[in-house]
Structure formats: structure tokens, C-alpha cells
Amino acid sequence: MTKKIKKTYKSFSKQVRSFEGVFVSKVLLATTVLSFVGYMYFVGMAGINAVSRNENLKEIKSLKTEISQLELSYIDATRSYTLSRAGEEGYVETKNLSFAKRGENVAYLGGSNGI
């Protein structure tokens, strides 16, 4: 068994010493280094994205809370606005109510081109 290993080692070392063997060794080394660098980059990016995701979730939660509070204050404001309060603020009920309809002449108070 050891003779076979020695023979295999000798043939392998002859291949490595040849130009093709050196080229293959350099390609394997470059591929290994590139794979390691790529692995470290993607692991780092995964960590950064996880932290960023948690920060974004916290911000979303606070914004949803703020939206809920604003909706509640809007609902309270619409419930507290009555006709008597509108009168106190100077609003008056219209006596002659009219709407514009299609086909009727409508006055235009725009620019000189009439559009």
C-alpha cells in the first residue's frame, strides 16, 4: 500500500512540476481564495441586512403607532364638529343652492386664450 502511495505521490509531483500542473495549481489556489473572499462578503452582507431589517421593523412599528394616533385624533375631531360649532366659527347655511350641469353655459374667468 505504501509503495502505491509513493508511486502516486511521485507521479503527482511530476505533474505539479510541469507547466500545466503549475497552471492548474495556480487556478485552484485563485479559485479557493476567491471563494473564501466571496463567502466572507456574503456572510457579512447577511449580517448587515439582518440588522437593517430589524431597524426598519422598529421604524415601521413607530410609524404605524403614529398613524393610529393621528387617525384617532381625526375621528375625535370629526365627532366634535357640529352645526352649532360651525355657526360659532362663522359658517352660514346657504339659502340658494345650485350645481353646474352639463350642457349649460358656464362663464370662464381665465386667461386670454380661453382654454
13: CB partners within 8 A, 6+ apart: none
Residue the block writes with cell 375621528: 75
State the Cα–Cα distance between residues 80 and 72, nearest whole angstrom: 12
Per domain, the residue ranges of the chain are 2-88
pLDDT, tens digit (0-9, with 9 covering 90-100), for 32-66: 999 999 999 999 999 999 999 999 999 999 999 99
Comparing 114 with 71, the larger pLDDT belongs to 71
Q: Which stretches of 1-115 are DSSP H helices? A: 2-17, 19-80, 83-88
What is the pTM (predicted TM-score) of this model?
A: 0.46
Q: What distance in Å separates the CA atoms of residue 65 and residue 60, rounded to the nearest whole number?
A: 9
